[in-house]
Amino acid sequence: MDYEVIICFETHVELHTATKLFCDCAVEYGAPPNSHICPVCTGQPGALPVLNKKAVEYCVRAGLALNCEINRNSRFARKNYFYPDLPKGYQISQYELPFCENGFLEIADGNGGFYPVGIKRIHLEEDAGKLVHSAESLEKAEHSLVDYNRACVPLLEIVGDHLRNPLRSIEQARMYLEKLRQTLRYIEISECIIEKGQFRCDVNISLRPKGSKNFGNRTEIKNMASFRFISEALEYEIKRQTEILDSGGEILQETRLFDEQKKITLPMRSKENAPDYRYFPDPDLIEVELETDFIEKIRTNLPELPDQKLKRFIEEFGISRKDAIILTRDKNVADYFIEGSQFAHDQKKYLRWILKELFKLLNEANSVITDCKISPRDFAELINFITQNQITEPVGRDVLSEMFQTGRQPGVIIKEKGLQIIQDDSALERIVDEIFGKNPEPVALVQAGQLKTLEFLIGQVMRETKGKANPNKVREIMLQKLSK
């Protein structure tokens, strides 16, 4: 039978505020264990939470960027469960009245238009601490230690809406996650680095016969560690659920985990399934009332979003859609491009060198643009040396490579190493004569009409001059000499 796939994400995003959600402890990834803790975030009796205004601002900023309605009145609730990384025995989260509701995120629909993926709600909550086991898994561990640095770090939970334009394919799921992460980075509320746990996904998936209005039972796959694992887990789940439904079976509504080695999902132990969280309003925190001014100020100062930047790159800079998509994928790359572009004389060459040469160096070094030692201005200056015929492209690549390593300015490297193009034609003529003298056979071949061999001779001159000759000039001189 043909089935329709319904996919929804619950995404947790760690906000990069300076301090935690309800206390003044610093948020610092990788700090020594339990170095950023206090009575509030370790849940000592009598300690009272005080809400971090910046976290609320970031939450509203996310809500506006994701086209949500912002609730003027909002409230925190206690989500009760027991786990060693949760010192209070409850997590402060939101249940009724989250800050943001009924939004959407547009992804490309493949026909030149957009598909608005429904977002049910965005709420703010505190993160739990972190257990460090003495072995890979809890089952094998002899002991476990707990680090409360992460306890009470502000988290956004972004919940997809299975009733309103849910995701229908693995391809759409991947596009949604990438666009979501890109958008959150653009509005600068989180770095969203998956490896640091700043962007974590649970995914719900169900199948139903094509045309059916009812939803099938869904499974939830928890704690997905990479976009690739999410795709693999979804692929496995679609296959597994299809086989069960085809054979007349029923899908159990349950939580499953993805085995990254075997590429399969497995049910979680049943006692961890379907917990009753007994939510109730947190009596230590009063209801939050957002003033219109507060919301409007955030709306006015909302940074440019990915689609707006893409449009501007195409219209203002005359960049092709394909190149603009690559440039705007990472906001930092887009900003780098804009900053340097005001210094570049040849915009097209400048763009090509960023997309080809700079990206190549970044990839090889497994690095990102924010760690790049070359300032946008120096990068543009290097391209100007090439467009002004002061250095050749091969020399330009060598200079770029050195700039990438050391961060030194192109002019300094070129001068110090004497890399300027040989402008003196008589000097070039002497080198051409020398190369001709050393290679009588190739010269004879060219004279007999085999022009391919000319490239070999030009190559010899380039080698002799360490790339400092203008190859077009060399060609011109050679043809002139050979025609005599």
Q: How far is the CB of 49 from Zn ion (least distance, A)?
A: 10
**Which residue number, 42 or 465, has a Cβ lying nearer to Zn ion?**
42
Burial of 228 (0-12, 13-18, 19+ CB in 10 A): exposed
DSSP state of 157: E
Contacts (CB under 5 A) with Zn ion, residues 146-185: none
Q: Could you tell me which stretch among 15-23, 164-172, 294-302, 402-410 binds Zn ion (CB under 5 A)?
A: 15-23
Sort strands 254-259 and 219-224 into parallel, antiparallel or unpaired: parallel
Question: Closest approach of Cβ 25 to Zn ion, in Å?
Answer: 3
- By beta-carbon proximity to Zn ion, the closer residue of 49 and 340 is 49
* CA gap 49, 87 in Å, rounded: 14
Minimum CB distance to Zn ion, residue 155 (Å): 15
Per DSSP, the three-state class of 306 is: helix
Q: How many residues bind Zn ion (CB under 5 A)?
A: 5
Binding residue for Zn ion (CB under 5 A) from 15, 23, 474, 478? 23
Taking CB under 5 A as the binding criterion, the range among 34-42, 239-247, 323-331, 455-463 that sits at the site for Zn ion is 34-42
The Cα-based distances of 46 to 69, 92, 126, 402, 475 in angstroms read 35, 16, 18, 59, 85
Give the nearest distance from C-beta 23 to Zn ion in angstroms: 3
Nearer to Zn ion, 36 or 123 (CB): 36
Minimal distance, residue 13 CB to Zn ion, in Å: 20
Helices (H), 33-135: 53-65
- Choice between 285 and 326, CB closer to Zn ion: 285
CB of residue 18 vs Zn ion: minimum separation in angstroms? 13
CB closer to Zn ion out of 43 and 471: 43
Contact 92/41 with Cβ under 8 angstroms?
Answer: no
Residue 24 C-beta: closest distance to Zn ion, Å: 7
Cβ–Cβ under 8 Å, residues 411 and 384: no
Write out the binding residues for Zn ion, residues 296-335 only, by CB under 5 A.
none
Number of CB atoms found within 10 A of residue 220's CB: 18
Closer CB to Zn ion, residue 40 or residue 324?
40
Q: Between residues 38 and 445, which has the closer beta carbon with respect to Zn ion?
A: 38
Torsion sign over Cα 14, 17, 23, 27 = positive
Stretch touching Zn ion by CB under 5 A, among 17-25, 97-105, 398-406, 458-466: 17-25
> Does 25 sit near Zn ion (CB under 5 A)?
yes
Q: How far is the CB of 242 from Zn ion (least distance, A)?
A: 48
Q: Select from 91, 72, 68, 96 the least CA-distant residue to 80.
A: 91
| Bridge partners for 280 per DSSP | 78
Our CB check for Zn ion shows the closer of 39 and 209 to be: 39
Q: Smallest distance, Å, CB 80 to Zn ion?
A: 21
Beta bridge partners of 118: 104
Stretch that binds Zn ion, among 25-33, 168-176, 428-436, 445-453 (CB under 5 A): 25-33
Give the DSSP H or E segment for 344: none
Residues forming beta bridges with residue 77, ordered by sequence position: 93, 281
How many CA within 13 A on the CB side of residue 281? 10
SS3 percent helix, strand, coil of the chain, rounded to 5, is: 40, 20, 40
* Span from 23-31, 80-88, 109-117, 449-457 in contact with Zn ion (CB under 5 A): 23-31
Report the residue number, 19 or 242, with the smaller CB distance to Zn ion.
19
Contact 118, 165 (CB under 8 A): yes
Give the N- to C-terminal CA distance of the chain in Å, as an integer: 79
Residues 37-76: x/- map of binding to Zn ion (CB under 5 A)?
-x-xx-----------------------------------
Interacting residues with Zn ion (CB under 5 A): 23, 25, 38, 40-41
